[in-house]
Amino acid sequence: MYRPTAAAGRSAERAAEHYVALVQTPATNRAFFNALPLEESERREIVRSGVDAFLRVYGPR
């Protein structure tokens, strides 16, 4: 598994950008930029998956 070095994206601003990319972008794309509503369960799964990915990189080691 890839493990970033301490210098790879450890700033708070970069972490926030990554979080948004992992959580908001998939939901927006699946909803066709809000043209189609997402079910609550689908929205939760998208967020859960994004948070899991984020924590794998930025969470405690």
Residue 26 CB-density burial (10 A; 0-12 exposed, 13-18 middle, 19+ buried): middle
pLDDT digits (tens, 9 = 90+) for 17-59: 999 999 998 888 888 877 888 899 999 999 999 999 999 998 8
In a domain, 6, yes or no: no
This prediction has a pTM of 0.72
Domain-located, residue 26: yes
How far is residue 34 CA from its own chain's centroid? 18
pLDDT of residue 11: 87
Structurally, the chain folds into a number of domains equal to 1
Task: Give the range of the structural domain holding residue 33, as residue numbers without chain letter.
Answer: 12-58
